Chain A
Amino acid sequence: MRKPYFLLKTPPTTPEPAEKLAPWAETTVVGKPLPRVDAYERVSGSAVYALDLFLPDMLYAAILRCPHAHAIVKKVDTAAATKMPGVRAVLTDSDTEARIPWYFTEKGPTSRLFDPHCRYEGEEIAAVAAETPHQAADALRAIVVEYEELPFVVDLDSALKPGAPLIHEGGNQVEGTLVYERGDIAKGFADAEAIVERTFRTSCEIHTPMEVHGSVAKWDGNRLTVWDTTQGVFQVQQSLADALRLPLSNVRVIGQYMGGGFGSKLEISKHTVIAAILARKTARPVKLFISREESFLCVGNRPANTMSLKAGVRKDGTLTAMHLINRGAVGAYPGWAGVGSQVADLYTCAHVRVEETCGHINAGQERAFRAPGFPQCSWALEQVMDELAAAIGLDPVEFRLTSIPVVSQRQGGKPYTSTGLRQCLVEGARAFGWDAARGGHRRNGPWLRGAGVAACQWGWPGGPPSTVIVRYFADGSVSLNMGASDIGTGTKTIMAMVVAEELGVALDRIQIEHADTGTTQYATPSGGSKTVPSDSPAVRAAAVAVKRKLLAMGAEQLEAAEDEVVLKAGEILVAGSPDKKVRLAELEGLMNQQVVIGVGHREQNPLDKVTKPFGAQFAEVEVNERTGEVRILRLLGAHDSGRVMNRLTYQNQVFGGMTMGIGFGMTERRVLDRQTGKMVNSNWHDYKIPTAMDVPADLTCVPIDVPDNEFNSTGTKGLGEPATIPTAAAIANAVYAATGIRVTDAPINPTQLASLLADQRKRG
């Protein structure tokens, strides 16, 4: 099994750059609030997304999915479907070319493309390719499937009980319980002057990116081209090559525009392979997009967790011990629902024990979802931190400031390359007006007001491999060639700004080729908030390589030493000799070659240090004591993600992360019906993501702009995921400040909160 990026222990490397680039002392382009370089294409509709692609003779495919939570397919009768108008191919498990192993553990595959043992509602049974999407949909309905329905289980507590319906022969628990331990928690709790212990639950959250998942597949002989909605074209290329037993060089995957993924498009999905097989079978291009409803079932989710956290503290604020017991439901197939990283690493604590158990239920497999595990952990940890602060009479910000580590306790005590956690808390609190917001309970009729804070750390820094090519043309325009996807986060804009910074080229003179395994160089998938810290140093190295070559040409033409010349405003100048200069447009070497090429690689991360982004968020809310409604009045995010590359995209990420955090904390919840095992809200009507009406107008982004120059040559750390980690916990702490009620189960919906408020009134 290819593990997702966040489980890789030793990432592969690219060659070390020839020179270690000194950090930028000052910048002229990088850091500015610049709009997206592809904004026009995206808003005008001229950007071609995979869904927009129409190839001559293209067929449309659709997938028949199991309507039961757990069943064995006894028989699939495709006779009627095959004869329907426009139908060109029907694919089932009877086709040997479709017998492709799927869902791997380290021991091997656990299923196959159309496995007759269906372990959740939505598993693939058959597929049809037809002349029109409607013909394909009609043909699916004509396929007759005989099922043997099996007992099912859709909640983890029941799944782990003896006698529960078995989803896999080996049992419903995934491997063993994973234990992390340092120190001796018994000793730590004995030293504590106050102890808090509480159980928290989070709900399963669905990614629901704006763009649904899909692929267009086309064969030319034994060469396959796939246009895909993916965060990582090279990841999909490798998986397709494996599944179809093709050389990597025969598989070209293109994914140039993307409508969001949030992790659900980090890995290949079955529909991509199905599209490729149907295209081969029919000798026609095939487009296969899943529906919105399917996307709720079969392309991943953030697993639901149950977390019991016990923590001890001394009156001076010293955390003495933390003990987390986590259980998470990974769905029907192998996965991971761990959350413990921040408990072990965010705050200084000598004695820590984390026990994590994952189990199977009859539901779709989990997938990485924007900071996998971290918002769940934050929900528990940051609420317990809030309670501990109250228990010893410290302000929640002050309390956190007593426990800020400068080393990663979880990673062998290695120091951090940088940590801005203190600034996040201090500068965030100042900008928020924390002290005033905490000043006493305020009531406005039935509305109670309160403010809360939560901090965070993100676990994955990024790094090699990444290879980038920059081409400088004779007229001074530039081509930037990189494998990384721009998943809507502004990657292309930031990379172009890096080129502009080094070569002094205007952004509109830079064309970007990217995310195409046929024409660009290897990059890891865009996930883990690591695209900018992984790839921008490689872009810088490539641009610097071009600059070195241009300078060498200039030195030769000006008869100066290479270390005497500098590039400035389109000219090469000799230091100290104002008359000796040549415009790049008149550079003989460039005219002769017509193009100068620079290749850049991502340098290795420092081996003796650890890199993590940090952040703190602040929330102010009003709670209606009778209805349980929560009005989020304002949110502020203060983040340390190293250098701010583009003030505008930075702010977009923070606001977007906080918006998603509102969904996780307030509205989003997959509901599986215990009677049928089916999801009852697999649509945007009943599954509630935040709309503009649910997000406060008062959002603030406070960048802690401290370049992490020890980490990489652009000084950047990740931002996309940290921005969503602490939001829900900050809101929950604000709700507590307003009401005195600790909401342990996410999301905080009015139904739950009104019931808790009623209980509180009864208790008096």
Chain B
Amino acid sequence: MSLPQFAYAAPKTLEEALALLAQHRGDARVMAGGTDLLLKMERRKLAPAVLIGLKRIDELRYIRFEPEQGLFIGALARLSDVVEDAIIRAKYPAIAHAASRTATVQIRNMGTVAGNLCNSSPCADNAPTLIARGAKVELVGAQARSRWLDLEKFFTGPGATALAPDEIMRQIHVPCPPGGSAAAYQNISARSKVDISAVSVGVHLTRRDGKCHDARIVLGAVAPVPMRAREAEALLVGTGMDEDVMRASGEMAAREARPISDVRASSEWRREMVAVLTRRALRQAWDSIASAHGGIVNR
């Protein structure tokens, strides 16, 4: 299939990009890797008159860690950059893992983490772990207007986000992992080893005095947007995280999920997998805290 006709702009600064976006208000789209956007255009789901390519804006191409503040992932950081980044692998391994579970090598070499979020697919692989880790995103508009939003509040529906038509996601911020905490990501497909996730789960746990102090469970692909399983989280806090508790939490998460049946999987199977993957992710995260000797090491 061929793309519809469009004009292509390649600004070199964020400011220029924002000006172009304002100028073509409503009739322009911003493109980073293009791995989702161009497919939508081929299928005529989108036909913007202008594409604003961000690739020449070097100021957006970074992954930075600041010991006091945490991690900053620029809008042009590719999925493969995140997979390979030494600091992310050391301090945020679940975030690197989620990026590595996104699509295929070729797509990871083109697509960006920010793009994966802005595409707002309910099954975006990078959303659950980032939400579980308390990530925020910075959205900038014309005249350098900037606002920070909890990632959890960024998604408003399938393909829809809190981004205003004149805004661009500049970066993603992930706070420093609290002491004695760990995150984990689990995903599964019902069709093949190379597929979009039919179900995904990201969790974040903090341990204090041998007990679960804080828990966040985020489910992907089982609701219109990535969703917190708050009742499942509540079951964990204050417990010693034994097998029964984790299983009960997984089953609670399955009850909270609102999956649909589609070409990728049935709703029944998705619900069942929420239970399995939640338990797996909780086990993995808790074990990795334990193996780091009571949470001295950040993982």
Show the binding face of A for B, using Cβ within 8 Å: 133-134, 137-138, 291, 293, 626-629, 666-667, 671, 680-681, 685-686, 688, 690-691, 693-694, 749-751, 754-755, 758
Interface residue B268 (Cβ < 8 Å from any Cβ of A): yes
Separation of A751 and B264 alpha carbons in the complex (Å): 9
Q: Do A750 and B269 have beta carbons less than 8 Å apart?
A: yes
Q: How far is the CA of A667 from the CA of B189 in the complex (A)?
A: 11
Identify the closest chain A residue to B194 (Cβ). A691
Known contacts A627-B272, A688-B194, A691-B194; 7 additional CB pairs below 8 A are A291-B1, A626-B272, A627-B273, A628-B269, A680-B263, A686-B264, A755-B268
Residues on A with C-beta less than 8 A from B1 are 137, 291, 293
Nearest-Cβ distance from residue A428 to partner chain B, whole angstroms: 27
Q: How far is the CA of A629 from the CA of B190 in the complex (A)?
A: 8
| B192 CB within 8 Å of chain A | yes
Contact, CB under 8 Å: A688 / B269 = no
Taking CB as reference atom, which chain A residue is nearest B265?
A751
Q: Tell which of B193, B194, B266, B276 touches A751, judged by Cβ atoms closer than 8 Å.
A: B266
> Which single residue of chain B is at the shortest CB-CB distance from A137?
B2
Residues of B within 8 A of A691 (CB): 192-194
Sorted nearest first, the 4 A-B pairs with minimum C-beta distance are A693-B193, A688-B192, A751-B269, A137-B2
Asked if B191 CB lies within 8 Å of chain A CBs, one says yes
A627 contacts B194, CB within 8 Å?
A: no
B106-124 interface code vs A (CB 8 A; 1 in, 0 out): 0000000000000000000
User: When the two chains form their complex, are residues A749 and B190 in contact, meaning their CB atoms are under 8 A apart?
Assistant: yes
Quick check: B2 and A134 within 8 Å, CB to CB? Answer: yes
B142 within 8 A of A: no
Complex Cα distance A155/B191, Å?
Answer: 22
CB contacts (< 8 Å) of B194 on chain A: these are: 688, 691, 693-694
Residue among B5, B194, B266, B276 having the largest count of chain A Cβ atoms under 10 Å: B194
Sample (15) of A-B pairs whose CB atoms are under 8 Å apart: A627-B272, A667-B192, A681-B263, A686-B264, A688-B191, A690-B192, A691-B193, A693-B193, A693-B194, A749-B190, A751-B190, A751-B266, A751-B269, A754-B272, A755-B269
Task: Give bound CA distance, A694 to B263, whole Å.
Answer: 19
B interface residues with partner A (beta carbon < 8 Å): 1-2, 5, 39, 188-195, 263-266, 268-269, 272-273, 276
Question: How long is the Cα–Cα vector from A724 to B39 in the complex, in angstroms?
Answer: 33
Asked whether, in the complex, the Cβ of B192 is within 8 Å of the Cβ of A694, the reply is: yes
Tell me the nearest residue of chain B to A757, going by C-beta.
Answer: B272
How long is the Cα–Cα vector from A91 to B112 in the complex, in angstroms? Answer: 44
Give every chain B residue within 8 A of A627 (Cβ-Cβ).
Answer: 188, 272-273, 276
Q: How far is the CA of A628 from the CA of B199 in the complex (A)?
A: 14
How far apart sit A666 and B194, CA to CA, in the bound complex (Å)?
A: 13
> Cβ of A685: which chain B residues have Cβ within 8 Å of it?
39
Q: Which residues of A contact B269 (CB under 8 A)?
A: 628, 750-751, 754-755
Q: A686 touching B268 by the CB < 8 A rule?
A: no
Which residues of the partner chain A approach B272 to less than 8 Å between Cβ atoms? 626-627, 754, 758
Q: Are A749 and B191 in contact (CB under 8 A)?
A: yes
Report the Cα distance A688→B190, complex, angstroms.
Answer: 11
Whether B195 contacts A688 by the Cβ 8 Å rule is yes
Nearest chain A CB to B287 CB, angstrom units: 14
A286 to chain B, nearest CB (A): 17
Task: Please give, as numbers and ranges, the residues of chain B lying within 8 Å of A754 by CB-CB distance.
Answer: 269, 272-273
What CA separation (Å) do A425 and B192 show in the bound complex? 30
**How far is it, in angstroms, between the C-alpha of A293 and the C-alpha of B194 when the chains are bound?**
19
A1 CA / B184 CA spacing, docked (Å): 61
* A291 to B263 CA separation, bound complex (whole angstroms): 22
Contact A133 B195 (CB under 8 A): no
In the complex, which residue of chain B has the Cβ closest to the Cβ of A626? B276
Q: Are B263 and A667 closer than 8 Å at their CB atoms? A: no
- Assembled-state Cα–Cα distance A354/B263 (Å): 34
A755 to nearest B CB, angstroms? 7
* A751 to B189 CA separation, bound complex (whole angstroms): 9
CB distance from A727 to the nearest CB of B (A): 16
Among A134, A686, A690, A758, contact of B263 (Cβ-Cβ < 8 Å) = A686
Query: What is the minimal beta-carbon distance from A210 to any residue of chain B, in angstroms?
Result: 16
A293 to B263, CA, bound (A): 17
Query: Which of chain A's residues has its CB closest to B196's CB?
Result: A685
* With A627-B276, A628-B269, A758-B272: A671-B263 Cβ-Cβ less than 8 Å: yes
CA distance A138 to B190 in the complex (A): 37
- Chain B nearest CB from A583 CB (Å) reads 55
How far in angstroms is the closest Cβ of chain A from B279? Answer: 9
Q: Which residue of chain A has the shortest Cβ distance to B273 in the bound complex?
A: A627
Q: Which residues of B contact A690 (CB under 8 A)?
A: 192
Say yes or no: A750-B193 contact (C-beta < 8 A), given A628-B269, A671-B263, A686-B263. no
- Closest Cβ neighbor of B268 among chain A residues: A755
> Which A residue's beta carbon lies closest to that of B42?
A293
How far, in angstroms, from A750 to B5 measured CA to CA in the complex?
Answer: 41
**Distance to closest chain B CB from A138 (angstroms):** 8
Question: Once bound together, how far apart are the Cα atoms of A36 and B105, in whole Å?
Answer: 29
Of chain B, the residue at the smallest CB distance from A695 is B193
From A691, which residue of chain B is reached at the shortest CB distance?
Answer: B194
User: Does the CB pair B188–A629 fall under 8 Å?
Assistant: yes
Closest partner residue, chain B, to A667 (CB atom): B192
Cα-based distance from A666 to B191 in the complex (angstroms): 8
Which B-chain residue is minimally distant from A758 (CB atoms)?
B272
A754 to B254, CA, bound (A): 15
Contact (Cβ within 8 A) A667 B191: yes
Q: What is the distance, in angstroms, from B146's C-beta to the closest C-beta of chain A?
A: 36
**A133 neighbours in B (Cβ, 8 Å):** 2
Do A694 and B188 touch (CB < 8 A)?
no
Distance in Å: Cβ of A444 to nearest Cβ of chain B: 15
Tell me the minimal C-beta distance from A308 to chain B in angstroms.
Answer: 26
Inter-chain contacts of B189 with A (CB < 8 A): 750
**How far, in whole Å, are A680 and B264 apart by their CA atoms in the complex?**
11
Give the CA-CA distance A626 to B250 in the complex, in Å.
Answer: 13
Please report the C-alpha to C-alpha distance between residue A725 and residue B268 in the assembled complex, in whole angstroms. Answer: 32
Partner of B190, one of A134, A137, A750: A750
Q: How far is the CB of A483 from chain B (nearest CB, A)?
A: 35
Among B1, B39, B192, chain A packs the most CB atoms within 10 A around the CB of: B192
Report how far A460 CA is from B65 CA in the complex, Å: 66
Residue of B nearest to A662 (CB): B192
CA A681 to CA B264, docked complex, whole Å: 10
- A754 and B268 alpha carbons, distance in the complex (Å): 10
Q: Which residues of chain B come closer than 8 Å to A758, judged between CB atoms?
A: 272
Chain B hits for A293, CB < 8 A: 1
**Bound Cα distance from A139 to B236, whole angstroms:** 61
Question: Nearest B residue to A624 by beta-carbon distance?
Answer: B276
Contacts of A628 in B (CB 8 A): 190, 269
Q: How far is the CB of B174 from chain A (nearest CB, A)?
A: 29
Chain A residues with CB below 8 A from B268, complex form: 755
User: In the complex, what distance in Å separates the CA atom of A133 from the CA atom of B3?
Assistant: 11
Chain B residue contacts of A629, Cβ below 8 A: 188
Across-interface contacts of A694 in B (CB, < 8 A):
192-194
Closest residue of chain A to B3 (Cβ to Cβ) is: A134
Question: In the complex, A758→B192 CA distance in Å?
Answer: 21
